[in-house]
Amino acid sequence: MSTEKQLSYHITNTYSVLNNFTEKTKTVWLVCHGIGYLSRYFLRHFYHLNTEENYIIAPQAQSKYYLKNEYKHVGASWLTKERTKAETENVLNYLDEVYRAEDLKNAPSLIILGYSQGVSVATRWIAKRKINCNELIMHSGKVPAELKREDFQFLKNTNFTFIYGTEDEYLKNGIIEVEEKRLKKLFPNNFEIKRYNGGHEVNTEIIAEFV
């Protein structure tokens, strides 16, 4: 009979940034990519933002794999259903280090965006670590079921936005109606829904509206 044991060890991971943080920077973004991305490629969706005023930080999911079984292109995933609780803590510890390294506590204005699976990562981190931000953008993804309204009540001056495409294949068959209703309960104040004609894809036009 096999037995699964557990141990702790130190690991090293990367993250990617776009533009430089200077005295002209008005907005700092922390953006969590979805399944299949590498952080440096996810930053392409933010190239259109003003380079002097926006500094974008893209954390890198730690679990990497080859896409489409071709052994050419690499993607990454934040979490799976395997040991989710323990793996979540690993991810949150990593994001804590990014937060400290970039001194996000003193950011002039902080926007946290999660796309697809990145929504679950961003919202768990905010809720469990009590991270203050000016904007929380949830793009084409679901907030984890374990998170409750009281987990976000410490955010007094945050704007909450849910973005999704009307043709998103992952939000069909009544899923979006249930999620909208739940989000309105989670975020009773300063909450807005932005829809666009399209599928499961990053909408750069809507992103530009936040700066």
Q: Rounded mean pLDDT of 169-186?
A: 92
Strand locations in the chain, DSSP E? 15-18, 27-32, 54-59, 63-66, 74-77, 110-115, 135-139, 159-165, 191-196
**What is the pLDDT averaged over residues 25-46?**
98
Q: What is the pTM of this model?
A: 0.95
Give the angle 107-40-169 at the CA atoms, nearest 5°: 100
Mean pLDDT score of the chain: 96
More confident site: 151 or 83: 151
69: pLDDT confidence band, cut at 50, 70 and 90?
A: confident
* pLDDT interval class at 174 (50, 70, 90): confident
74 near 64, Cβ under 8 Å? yes
What DSSP assignment string belongs to 164-204? Answer: EETT-GGGTTTHHHHHHHHHHHH--SSEEEEEESSSSS--H
Element (H, E) at 41: helix 39-42
Task: Give the mean pLDDT of 19-43.
Answer: 97
pLDDT value, residue 77: 96
Taking only the tens place, the pLDDT of each residue in 74-99 is 999 999 899 888 899 999 999 999 99
Task: Indicate the pLDDT class of residue 68, thresholds 50, 70 and 90.
Answer: confident
**Sheet containing 110-115, strands listed edge to edge, beginning at the edge strand earlier in sequence:** 15-18, 54-59, 27-32, 110-115, 135-139, 159-165, 191-196
Position 172 scores a pLDDT of 86
Distances (CA, A) of 191 to 150, 172, 210: 15, 22, 14
List of domains in the chain: 15-208 (3.40.50.1820)
**Which pLDDT belongs to residue 173?**
80
Contact 120, 152 (CB under 8 A): no
Percent of the chain with pLDDT over 90: 90
Q: Which residue has the higher pLDDT, 68 or 119?
A: 119
Position 71 scores a pLDDT of 86
